[in-house]
Amino acid sequence: MKIKVDRLSSFAETINGGNPAGIVLNADNFDEKKMKLIAKNIGYSETAFVSNSNKADFKIRFFTPKEEVNLCGHATIAAFSLLIKEKIISQGKYTQETKDGILEIECNKNSEIFMNQNLPNFQEKLNQELITNALNIDKNELLEDIPIEIVSTGLNDLMIPIKSLEALNQITPNMKKIENICNQNNIASFHLFCIPKNEFHASSRNFAPHLGIPEESATGTASGALGCYLIKHKIYEANKQLLFQQGLSMNKPSKIKVIIEKTTTINAVKVGGKAIYLDSIYM
């Protein structure tokens, strides 16, 4: 019996933008070996497998072409968009069981999906020279006054501030060096960003070669972490919607919405956007 894989592009405004994900519904009887093989054959940065849960409305597991990851933002957006398309759910609030815990999802009337992420965990700041060497850039291309810092809202993403959009888009990193640094420091990705002088609050690039993802056009989990980082370092105020762009260097423009709620400390991290249905294939 062939397996149906639906393909959607998350954080997209058109079919040429966003970040594609494979979605497999009714995956209750799939073992890990089978899911890994499907994800490898699909070849997207992540493929999500949706099944029943006795802890939440749905259980979702996420696989890169190389391995399973605890959470994936854009595949979550794609999965819940597909559930709406198939009329399995409608507008409202839901929960998903992931390896990172039970997370809340909100499907709004504008066909946008927002996922709640874990509260931020700010970790150590890494050596500047080590990072600039891996990125093949001079330290003068870094944005001054804010650090290179690991932030987790589900995955350990390394926030790297770059001085300008031009500098950001010209970076050609050494993937092997990034892979080694990530493996040695339990880092999920290098998340580079700048503060552009346009409608967006940040423009980003994301590298995770050790997970089989040389560069990703839209990264939901890292965008939540970036939002927390920008609030912590007082670049922007909390309790307002932030708009991030990603994927420009890949010709896959993506639009990611982030809301960081805060009273005395951050108490909610929400990342959202739309997904466009592409097609389905059978494997």
Please state at what angle helix 128-135 crosses helix 175-185, rounded to 10 degrees. Answer: 140
DSSP state of 244: E
Task: Report how far residue 4's alpha carbon sits from residue 26's, in angstroms, rounded to the nearest whole number.
Answer: 10
- Residue from 189, 205, 213, 188 nearest 253 by CA: 205
DSSP E strand boundaries for 87-170: 92-98, 101-107, 113-117, 121-125, 149-152, 156-161
DSSP state of 31: -
Which listed residue (13, 46, 67, 215) is catalytic? 46
Residues 242 and 229 sit within 8 Å (Cβ to Cβ): no
Residues 265 and 277 sit within 8 Å (Cβ to Cβ): no
Please state at what angle helix 220-232 crosses helix 73-85, rounded to 10 degrees. Answer: 120
Tokens of 131: 């990072």
Residues 6+ apart with CB under 8 A from 3: 24, 38, 282, 283
Strands 254-262 and 275-282: unpaired
Task: Report how far residue 47's alpha carbon sits from residue 74's, in angstroms, rounded to the nearest whole number.
Answer: 10
- Residue from 122, 80, 140, 85 nearest 105 by CA: 80
- Note if 216 is an active site residue: no
DSSP state of 210: G
Question: Which residues are known to be catalytic?
Answer: 46
